[in-house]
Amino acid sequence: MHNDIELKFKFNNSNFLKSKKILKKYPKKFSESAILPLLHLAQEQLDGWLKKPAIEYISKYLKVPLIKVYEVASFYHMFNLKKVGKHCISVCTTTPCCLKGSDAILKKFEQNLNIKNGKITKDGVFSLHEIECLGACINAPVIKINNNYYENLKLDDIKKIVKNLKK
């Protein structure tokens, strides 16, 4: 299946082996259930974002319509359809976080990184994104940087976080 696909993206050997293990978890006729984990795998391989060829690849790999893969990739905010920075900063601005000051947090990151929401720094090290609920509302305000959560965030924490990530 792997070698038949002539596209601009394909899983590297290690991810190809992982993808085979993932597929074994699902009955053959429900292989589209593997869309989510395979998108995660592709995004990991592509430094945090899903290029269109990766979505096409997964569609062909699983033999499911492209629109189905695209629907999943575009629905969940953990998938990035545009290039992101090495450190992808996501600031939750949904109501509980908003009530605990997420707007000020977003603004502080904008000032600190000298970029607007949705942009990447010129050196490609940081990108900043407003995001919907991260599911940790009890510890609002919450941000996520790549796969790490920062909870009960204070405005004063931001400078230190950015400084540590620059090291």
**Binding residues vs ligand FES (CB under 6 A):** 92, 94, 96-97, 133-137, 140, 142
Write down the least CB distance from residue 103 to ligand FES, Å.
Answer: 12
Q: Which two tokens stand for residue 98?
A: 């908003």
Write down the least CB distance from residue 16 to ligand FES, Å.
Answer: 35
Q: 111-115: which pairs have CB atoms within 8 A and are 24 or more residues apart? A: 112/158, 112/159, 112/162, 113/89, 113/162
Write down the least CB distance from residue 74 to ligand FES, Å.
Answer: 21
Write down the least CB distance from residue 166 to ligand FES, Å.
Answer: 25
Residue type, 17: L
CA distance 22 to 74: 21
Write down the least CB distance from residue 106 to ligand FES, Å.
Answer: 12
- For residues 34 and 142, which CB has a smaller minimum distance to ligand FES in the complex? 142
Bridge partners (DSSP) listed for residue 130: 91
Among 151, 146, 162, CA closest to 96: 151
Q: Which two tokens stand for residue 137?
A: 């509302």
For residue 68, how many other CB atoms are within 10 A of its CB?
A: 14
- For residues 96 and 101, which CB has a smaller minimum distance to ligand FES in the complex? 96
- For residues 106 and 120, which CB has a smaller minimum distance to ligand FES in the complex? 106
- For residues 62 and 97, which CB has a smaller minimum distance to ligand FES in the complex? 97
DSSP for 105-135?
HHHHHHHHHT--TT-B-TTSSEEEEEES--S
- For residues 118 and 135, which CB has a smaller minimum distance to ligand FES in the complex? 135
